[in-house]
Structure 1
Amino acid sequence: MHRQFDVGATFDENSSNFIITSDEHRKEPLNITSDALLKHLTGIFAAFLVQYDIKCRDIKWVLGGKRQRPVRLKLRKGLPGLNGEYQTYVTVECIIRNDYPENPKSPGDTKLICRPIDVPPEMGSKLIRGHELNFILGKSRVFPIDILFCTEKFEDISENEPLWQKQLRKLQDSSPSHVELLSEVEALRFDTEGEIVDNCLLRAGESLPLEVIAVVRPRMSKVALQKGMNSGKSISGSRTDQKSIVARSSEMVLIVTELKFRPPGERVPPTEKGKEVYISPRSIKATTCCNVSGLYRFKPSQVSDLIMKKTGTYMLTLKILGEDFKDTKPLVIRVNVAASEKGDCWRVCNHAGDCNTAHPGLKSPNLWGRLGEALNWELFLCTYDDYNNPTKFRNINELKNINLELRTLAGECLNDIQLTLPRNFDIKNHISPDHCSLKLQKLELSGGNLATFAPTYQASLWIYIAKKRVAEFRFTVRPGSVGKAVMKEGETPARPLRPGQIIDHLVFQFMDKYGNLAEKGEVVDLALEGLKLCDRKGGSTRKVDDSSCVDLGGRLKVEARYGDTAAVELRNTTFGRTQVLGEFNFDIMKRQLRILNNPKSASGGSKLEDVTIEVVDVETGRVDEDMDGVTYALALGWNKAVCIPLKRGRCTLPDIILPNKTELWTGKVFLAEHPEIRVVMRVEILETWVLPAMENTSEYPPISRIALASLPPQELAKVLEASIERHKELEKKAKQKGRQVGLMESELEERKKRLKMFGERQAYLHNQLRSLQKNEQDEDGGDSEYIEQAEMEEDKLETYNSKKLMSELQKLGDPPGTHAASVLLDAIVDDHRLVEGIGKDVIGLVAILAEVESDSISTALANFLGEDTMTCIICKTVLGIQFLGAHYVGHQSLGLHGLIKDRNSSISGSFGVILADPCSSYKRDDGEQAVIDDHPQKLLHLSPSADSTRPKPLGFIDYAVNLLQFHKGYTLCLKVGEFGLRETLFFNLFGYLQVYDTVENMMRAKEYIQTSAVSLDGGVLYDKRTLHFKTILGKSPTIRFAVASKTEIVDAPQRQPPPARLKLMQEIKKTSNQAAEECSKISVLLKELMQSKNRANQLTQDLTKEAAFTAGLVAKVKENHC
């Protein structure tokens, strides 16, 4: 069914149409004013329909479709919707309907949607299909359907393709092409005289034109210009007409970009990105003048103050805005601003280039220098124009006569402080290529007293060129590096010092080599001898305070012994070399013990009573009454279980029972905490002869006194004769053994002399090496690290071999590091100290007190003891054990709990503690010496096995307690009473434990084993009956004794020393090897000598007994004769 609408136009309601269901706001851009709804067609309320076919009179259009020819119209002036336009060309896209036939009074609106010729198809109307249909008008225009009935006002040109293409070409020629600035001649037509020439060179201080005019040129103008240039015709008159200027109105902006200055002949790299320094705050709108539209008037004077006072290359960009001008090329004008030729200002600063960029506001930094050192700064001397732009030097030869002078801020000359150029200073090497700056570097600051302008040390640097002052600069003169140290008056300790004392007052003041007080924050190193730091800072470095001092009051504890010397050496290691600032020695009190009522002789078995001991000053002889209480207690060498406290420097010894034998009795008395203070009592016991009892001294059966008396005279004579023969034989053997002992002692003395000779030779070589190293330092600054490396090589090897043990100990606990052993290890290793106070009786851990010579021995001994024993803590006294377990005393945290509290943690689990009791030290049953004193490691002289006549079994290495090697100083320093750790702690742990190479050899030697044994391949024999394997079948222990390895440290310095020093070092090493070999031979000889002496003593005892027995027989024979 067809329906007639308006004036003869009909639509096919059966054809396809699209229903746009939306709100009223979609009608406004389509100029739909009716409220009619299309319910009769759609059954729903809709805003409008989109129709693609129409029939009117002779017109029948089917719109859209790819195969359909587009419907194109030429609309003339006067048609509705043209808005006064002359004519336009459009393409019909679709029809919009909004009619309501049930209401004839409201017929609805019908529109034609047409796309102008200058609008691309993609920017026209669109029908979007999605969740719901939507219609977008785009840049298409809306015309009423009435234009179809004004045949004289429009023309259907769908079939006239040439006309359509002609209009397209005209449109392209009139489209905007680029922005252009009118020349001064062209601008005169519009009453403007300004012009900016591209790539011009201006000087700072000059100004830009007050006003310029920019226009947008069409494409045809560019073509016409090109044709005119080719034909040689002048076209200047046509450059200002409307055809040469796009009349469409828009807006234009000015953007200024700053670049590095380049002269006009130098090209700006396209990759260089400048800095935008200006964007016009308001866009400039097009104006009309002289019937010409599209004129954009700019006032460059607004940016003159911005760009005409600072050197640089500036890009002025004029950009047109708007969608219609999006393809229009902007105008870029290059303006090069050079420095002004007016002004000749000098300036010195710490940088090259423009000060405006380095520190805006011209606030130059305050440079500084230290006395006795070259400046770390580089100074740059420059000249500037009146606008602070750097300029070239006008006379370079004058720069050769440059002088520097330091003055106070008030202008007074500082004659004793000088800032000079280096001797080899050459202007040619320090002037910049553009001749705009002169670099002054490695300036040397020397001088003296800074008291004239202390404490600010603010000065002024004056620079003279050809005796004319050209620049002035703020400069701070700081004191030099620390050069010496003195003890501050009134802050020195009272002398002499007492061991264990905390020094209350000790302040060092530091100065540079010119005598000026050192700056705050300078770092100095402390090297202590006989003293120990006891503050919480840790480490040996200290910082100088604001009074140029380091206060050590209350932080140093005296650890030197009585009669020794303590020392503090202050060092400066700032520049990689150690400079000694001062060495200060402190005398320690000299004390000795004096015996009162000491008899020179006494009868055997008698008592010594009322023996008094006094502690006296060595120099004055007065009793030291300050030694009072349990801190100062005397220990007795003959009764190690007794300690007697002093009372005001005196004490009376308990009664001493002398032995009942003729000898020179000696007894040692010493201070328990300071065994260096000792005295030896000597009492000669008077001879008392007693007939000895008859003993079995030969192969004869024992004969008692009664049996001897009952013998007949003939038998008694035979016994006497046999006794005399035995006496002679024993006497002969005793003399032979005595001669053998004498020869061995002579050989021992010779070897000791050789060892002493090696030691003296080694000391001489070390002195030669130090002298050579000092000479090398004076000549070419030789490195002192090789001397220290040669002296500390053994300590480094020990540290390297114990790293793994320390690492395993620090992993103990849950979480790691909270086991008691780990906490104590931090106190010993990391802080370089043991716990303080009563905690000084804490010795350390079992695992770190000794080393062994191989990893297999370490594993075997660790298997025997177990990890719990290896991580036990060793204490000297019960007070030390109580200190370890203490939590708080008052408000102070003590012991291990105090150490771990600083880490905000707590001890995990329980921990074992062993008391190294001197009463349980190793003693021989035969009364012989238990320790080999002449041996450097103080080995134990262990008792022989059950059958000493048998040779040592195959595979036997040694007793475990003698395989331990103690660290340096442990043998003499770490003692329990007067006993060492080997005969107390480790003998109680290992006993007579023997070490074998293999399990097979260990099992074959079961008769030789006294208690227990271990083998290097993992066997452990605890009770001579049960064999255990702990390495082959089980897991190797992680906590073991450190191995005293000779492996080189991987990260040791590898630098080759000079040949002379290398030769000395090789000679030292050779001498050390010879001394070590001699020590080994002495050790073997000592063992043999000890055995020979024991045998000689045994023969002497047998000879004495035999003599007594013979004397008794002689007396009995005489009695029978009488």
Structure 2
Amino acid sequence: MPESCLVGSCLENIVFGVFDSEGEIDHTIHGKHHALSISALSGEKADKIMYMFDKGRCTVPMVQVPSEPKIFIFSAFHSGYPDLHICIKVNVVQAPKLNIATSIELLDRNLLVPSNEGLSERQDHSLCSPSLICILKSFVDYTAKLDDEVAELGYQVGQLERNLKILNYQRERIVEEILELKVLVDQQQLSQIHLLVNTKEHVRKQVEEQGNTAAAAFFHLFYANTIEGLQFDYVDDIIGVVALLGIVSDYKLSSILAEYLGETYMLAIVCKSYDTARELEKHSEDGAVNHNCALHAAAAAIGIRIQRRFNVICLEEIRPYEDPIYNDTQRKLAIPAPRFPSGEIPNGFLGYAVNLITLDSHHSNTRTASGFGLRETLFYQLFGKLQVYKTRAEMQQASSCINQAAVSLDGGIIVTSGIIVFGDCEPEIKFPVVPEFHGVISNSAMEILKQIEDKKAVLEAKNKEIEKKAQAHSKTLAKFHKKKEILCSLLPHL
């Protein structure tokens, strides 16, 4: 390990080893359960890539060095055994600059005027008129400045190339990790996972295309890994957007539930507390929205101006469903089925909307401070005891059993007693659909699904970062070649 290195460079092919009590490499530290992580201790962003051990040894291809002079400290540790760690210090120094002799130095050495034995000292100086000296000084100063610019651009090009090399390696490693996760799932469940991931991805992109909305801004910020740009203490308490917090098993059900809620609620941002909600938007003394703060400012930084009102749902403020809950992983609500006075359940009754939603894998264990999940809070607040029927006719026949509201898969909607919605509509934003989802994917596969989705989000952010760096590299390289060409044409005249 070098004692010092240049700013913006990288440490390459660092080999770490785990030794046993006898000082020998421990070959049992091997395989997928043994990985090494790198963590910067001097303020830099942590590396989220895991490096596998091979018979006690692990090679880290690259570690990026900071872009300013400082003592760079980073730690390498076993992901499963944090006690196995080592701290490394490297002195990061500024690269020396190349200098061209200044015009003053040239003048002092009498290099501006050729020597002539027949000329006196007075005549020698008379050849250098003030205007000529001024022109020559300007020429040399310009050349020196150009040389500095070429050197700086060359340094920037090199730094961008090193960054791209690291980013491409990290991207390849993330792809490998996703493939390794997929191997752990059987083929039938893997096909369901593929369908679920792709369906959720489709819905997310539809939300992102919703113009200047808060939901679109949220997803752009989240998947670009810049949600920290909101700059407040409650980022982790933002749960997501309603449209992606639940999954259904039928396309018609997805459509009618989305139509019942309306786009405003489908695009609502969900957070845990009112304190979090208040941090999403700031107001001036006269009550006007301050577009230079919070979510508005973060959205503007990525080219989105939020122009519509948006709903924020605070879980802690919702009065939850407190009656019995079925003892299953989805925590479905034990709401009694509607019945006629005879005791019969209406024909075509499919269930309550709140129970026909499958919770997103990321939030199946999300709880309020009082222990209530998304179904008892968010979805019960949105749907209440909304009944779902197969057809309009069956829904109308059950009208005496409908206490709150009802929908049918063929498009019927009873908003409340005495209010029926006619016409048709195909909402653009709907819940993700995975047919026969409930009984196919096991709990272990759901956990793997969550990891795959997390890594895909990191991969997308990495791809955007690579694209951005590649564009910067092309522009900087073009400037470098242009200025270098000018400099090379001037150097022979010095």
**TM-score by structure 1 length?**
0.24
Per-residue CA deviation, residues 226-256 of structure 1 (Å, 9 max, x unaligned), is xxxxxxxxxxxxxxxxxxxxxxxxxxxxxxx
Does the CA-based 8 Å contact 1:921-1:979 persist in structure 2? yes
Amino acid at match of 2:199: N
In structure 2, the partner of 1:874 is 270
Residue 586 to residue 918, structure 1, CA distance change in 2 (3 Å): farther
In structure 2, the partner of 1:171 is none
SS of the residue 1:853 aligns to: coil
% identical aligned pairs: 24
Q: Distance in 1 between matches of 2:433 and 2:214?
A: 23
1:543 aligns to 2:64 (yes or no): yes
Residue 1038 to residue 871, structure 1, CA distance change in 2 (3 Å): same
Q: Distance in 1 between matches of 2:419 and 2:238?
A: 36
Does the CA-based 8 Å contact 1:931-1:939 persist in structure 2? yes
Does the CA-based 8 Å contact 2:243-2:266 persist in structure 1? yes
Does the CA-based 8 Å contact 1:798-1:1045 persist in structure 2? no
Does the CA-based 8 Å contact 1:507-1:551 persist in structure 2? yes
1:902 aligns to 2:295 (yes or no): no
In structure 2, the partner of 1:1013 is 406
SS of the residue 1:958 aligns to: strand
In structure 1, the partner of 2:54 is none
2:14 aligned to which of 470, 473, 482:
482
Does the CA-based 8 Å contact 1:859-1:1037 persist in structure 2? yes
Does the CA-based 8 Å contact 2:315-2:368 persist in structure 1? no
Q: Distance in 2 between matches of 1:455 and 1:825?
A: 39
Does the CA-based 8 Å contact 2:339-2:346 persist in structure 1? no
2:239 aligned to which of 843, 855, 864:
843
How far 1:959 sits from its partner (Å)?
0.2
Amino acid at match of 1:876: K
Residue 981 to residue 805, structure 1, CA distance change in 2 (3 Å): same
Matches within 5 A, 1:460-475: none
Amino acid at match of 1:850: G
How far 1:1044 sits from its partner (Å)?
2.7
Q: Distance in 2 between matches of 1:861 and 1:507?
A: 50
Matches within 5 A, 1:42-121: none
Q: Distance in 2 between matches of 1:455 and 1:987?
A: 59
Residue 543 to residue 893, structure 1, CA distance change in 2 (3 Å): farther
SS of the residue 1:483 aligns to: strand
Does the CA-based 8 Å contact 1:918-1:977 persist in structure 2? no
Amino acid at match of 2:225: D
2:371 aligned to which of 973, 978, 988:
978
User: Which of the pair is proportionally richer in helix?
Assistant: 2
Q: Distance in 2 between matches of 1:948 and 1:485?
A: 75
User: Which of the pair is proportionally richer in strand?
Assistant: 1
1:829 aligned to which of 223, 233, 245:
223
1:931 aligned to which of 301, 325, 343:
325
Does the CA-based 8 Å contact 2:269-2:311 persist in structure 1? yes
Per-residue CA deviation, residues 500-549 of structure 1 (Å, 9 max, x unaligned), is xxxx982599xxxxxxxxxxxxx965359xxxxxxxxxxxx962448999
How far 1:981 sits from its partner (Å)?
1.4
Amino acid at match of 1:846: V
Q: Distance in 2 between matches of 1:1074 and 1:839?
A: 30
1:1039 aligns to 2:429 (yes or no): yes
Amino acid at match of 1:482: I
Amino acid at match of 1:506: L
Does the CA-based 8 Å contact 2:221-2:299 persist in structure 1? no
Residue 1037 to residue 582, structure 1, CA distance change in 2 (3 Å): same
How far 1:995 sits from its partner (Å)?
0.6
How far 1:584 sits from its partner (Å)?
6.9
Does the CA-based 8 Å contact 1:838-1:880 persist in structure 2? yes
SS of the residue 2:234 aligns to: helix
Amino acid at match of 1:1007: S
SS of the residue 1:984 aligns to: helix
Matches within 5 A, 1:634-1033: 787-791=180-184, 793=190, 796-812=194-210, 816=211, 818-831=212-225, 836-886=232-282, 894-917=293-316, 920-924=319-323, 930-932=324-326, 934-945=327-338, 950-975=343-368, 977-1029=370-422, 1033=423
2:79 aligned to which of 573, 583, 587:
583
Q: Distance in 2 between matches of 1:542 and 1:974?
A: 38
SS of the residue 2:79 aligns to: strand
Matches within 5 A, 1:296-307: none
Q: Distance in 2 between matches of 1:479 and 1:989?
A: 53
Per-residue CA deviation, residues 61-110 of structure 1 (Å, 9 max, x unaligned), is xxxxxxxxxxxxxxxxxxxxxxxxxxxxxxxxxxxxxxxxxxxxxxxxxx
RMSD between aligned alpha carbons? 4.4
Q: Distance in 2 between matches of 1:1073 and 1:1043?
A: 14
Per-residue CA deviation, residues 1025-1049 of structure 1 (Å, 9 max, x unaligned), is 33324xxx433000111113579xx
SS of the residue 2:418 aligns to: coil
How far 1:1008 sits from its partner (Å)?
2.1
Q: Distance in 2 between matches of 1:550 and 1:921?
A: 52
SS of the residue 2:206 aligns to: helix
Does the CA-based 8 Å contact 1:956-1:994 persist in structure 2? yes
Segments ≥4 residues shifted beyond 6 Å: 546-550, 1072-1076
Does the CA-based 8 Å contact 1:998-1:1015 persist in structure 2? yes
Does the CA-based 8 Å contact 2:227-2:235 persist in structure 1? no
Q: Distance in 2 between matches of 1:1001 and 1:881?
A: 41
Q: Distance in 2 between matches of 1:972 and 1:1074?
A: 16
Residue 551 to residue 902, structure 1, CA distance change in 2 (3 Å): farther
Q: Distance in 1 between matches of 2:256 and 2:202?
A: 17
Amino acid at match of 1:1040: K
Per-residue CA deviation, residues 673-700 of structure 1 (Å, 9 max, x unaligned), is xxxxxxxxxxxxxxxxxxxxxxxxxxxx
Matches within 5 A, 1:129-148: none
Q: Distance in 2 between matches of 1:920 and 1:1024?
A: 23
Does the CA-based 8 Å contact 1:850-1:964 persist in structure 2? yes
SS of the residue 1:844 aligns to: strand
Q: Distance in 2 between matches of 1:799 and 1:1075?
A: 15
Amino acid at match of 2:245: L
Q: Distance in 2 between matches of 1:552 and 1:479?
A: 13
How far 1:908 sits from its partner (Å)?
1.3
SS of the residue 1:978 aligns to: coil
Matches within 5 A, 1:162-561: 481-484=13-16, 506=41, 525-527=48-50, 543-545=64-66
Per-residue CA deviation, residues 7-51 of structure 1 (Å, 9 max, x unaligned), is xxxxxxxxxxxxxxxxxxxxxxxxxxxxxxxxxxxxxxxxxxxxx
Residue 480 to residue 1046, structure 1, CA distance change in 2 (3 Å): farther
Amino acid at match of 1:809: V
How far 1:993 sits from its partner (Å)?
0.4
SS of the residue 1:940 aligns to: coil
Q: Distance in 1 between matches of 2:380 and 2:205?
A: 27
Does the CA-based 8 Å contact 1:993-1:1012 persist in structure 2? yes
Does the CA-based 8 Å contact 1:874-1:913 persist in structure 2? yes
Instruction: Structure 1: give runs of 5+ residues left out of the alignment.
Output: 1-448, 457-477, 487-503, 510-522, 529-540, 554-567, 571-580, 588-782, 925-929, 1048-1071, 1077-1122
Q: Distance in 2 between matches of 1:825 and 1:968?
A: 18
Q: Distance in 2 between matches of 1:805 and 1:907?
A: 20
SS of the residue 1:802 aligns to: helix
User: Greater CA radius of gyration, 1 or 2?
Assistant: 1
Does the CA-based 8 Å contact 1:883-1:894 persist in structure 2? no
Does the CA-based 8 Å contact 1:508-1:549 persist in structure 2? no
Instruction: Structure 2: give runs of 5+ residues left out of the alignment.
Output: 19-38, 52-61, 84-175, 285-289, 444-494
Does the CA-based 8 Å contact 1:485-1:508 persist in structure 2? no
